[in-house]
């Protein structure tokens, strides 16, 4: 079994590579890895406890997972801060897109006119900084349009039928010659892939239930 520092170094490198994927345009992965290692050194006793080699295998693996999760959150915060400095915006201006927020935006994406948010309706939030919450609804729609172009044609067609043509799942199933359950899965999958193209959901908001469960 590796000693705690070697194990922590390997975990930090893996986490850095994973988190850096969304930020590769702005800085090098080594910056993220170095930040993770600094966190490890600064929390030596805690990390040693998680990676204590004398504990049973189950506890040890739990410690590995805890360190990876903690470093992932720390690395994400670091990357967000560094990106904001490089690009020139405030952290509070960041935008996260959840499937629920996308389902609100998508009916307008294919329209020539992008409406502003109806102040009398409850707001659908993808987390802190969601565009519809910050009054930048039009910018959000253009973000979604750009992300749609990166999807496979089948995903775009499914989303257009469901959210612009307002097909229910039975109508969608007939149009695509598939079952209702398959139509439901296709919509959920397309929404998830669109969300990922936009950078994913807010990593700092817990997911107690799937926001698109009632679509």
Do 122 and 139 fall within a single domain?
yes
Summarize pLDDT for 149-185 with one digit per residue, the tens.
989 999 999 999 999 999 999 999 999 999 999 999 9
Higher pLDDT, 72 or 95: 72
Last residue of a domain, one of 46, 74, 91: 91
**Diameter over CA atoms, the chain:** 64
Q: How many CA atoms lie within 13 A of 16 on its CB side?
A: 20
Answer whether 0.85 is exceeded by the pTM: no
Q: Is residue 81 part of a domain?
A: yes
Do 141 and 50 fall within a single domain?
no
Instruction: Give the pLDDT of residue 134.
Output: 40
Q: How far is residue 197's CA from residue 189's CA, in Å, rounded to a whole number?
A: 12
Domain, as residue range, for 108: 95-197
pLDDT-derived band at 89 (thresholds 50, 70, 90) equals: low
At 35, give phi and psi (nearest 5°): -65, -40
Do 153 and 165 fall within a single domain?
yes
Q: What is the domain-level CATH number for residue 116?
A: 1.10.10.10
Do 71 and 101 fall within a single domain?
no
Do 109 and 149 fall within a single domain?
yes
Q: How many domains, in total, are found in the chain?
A: 2
Is 131 within 8 Å of 95 (Cβ atoms)?
Answer: yes
Q: Is residue 153 part of a domain?
A: yes
- Evaluated on CA atoms 87, 117, 114, 184, the torsion sign reads positive
Say how many residues make up the chain. Answer: 215
Do 108 and 84 fall within a single domain?
no
Q: Is residue 150 part of a domain?
A: yes
Instruction: Give the pLDDT of residue 81.
Output: 85
Instruction: Give the pLDDT of residue 49.
Output: 94
């Amino acid at each position: 079994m590796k000693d705690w520092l070697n194990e922590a170094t390997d975990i930090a490198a893996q986490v850095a590579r994973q988190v850096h994927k969304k930020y590769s345009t702005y800085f090098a992965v080594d910056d993220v890895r170095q930040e993770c290692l600094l966190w490890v050194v600064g929390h030596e006793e805690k990390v040693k406890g998680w990676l204590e080699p004398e504990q049973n295998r189950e506890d040890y693996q739990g410690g590995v997972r805890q360190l990876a999760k903690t470093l992932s959150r720390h690395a994400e915060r670091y990357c967000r801060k560094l990106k904001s400095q490089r690009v020139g915006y405030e952290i509070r201006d960041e935008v996260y897109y959840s499937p629920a927020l996308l389902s609100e935006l998508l009916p307008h994406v294919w329209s020539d006119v992008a409406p502003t948010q109806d102040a009398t309706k409850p707001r659908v939030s993808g987390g802190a900084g969601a565009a519809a919450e910050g009054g930048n609804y039009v910018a959000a729609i253009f973000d979604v349009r750009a992300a749609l172009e990166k999807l496979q044609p089948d995903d775009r067609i499914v989303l257009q039928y469901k959210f612009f043509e307002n097909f229910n799942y039975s109508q969608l199933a007939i149009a695509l010659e598939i079952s209702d359950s398959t139509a439901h899965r296709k919509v959920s999958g397309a929404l998830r892939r669109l969300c990922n193209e936009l950078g994913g959901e807010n990593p700092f908001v817990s997911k107690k239930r799937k926001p698109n469960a009632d679509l």
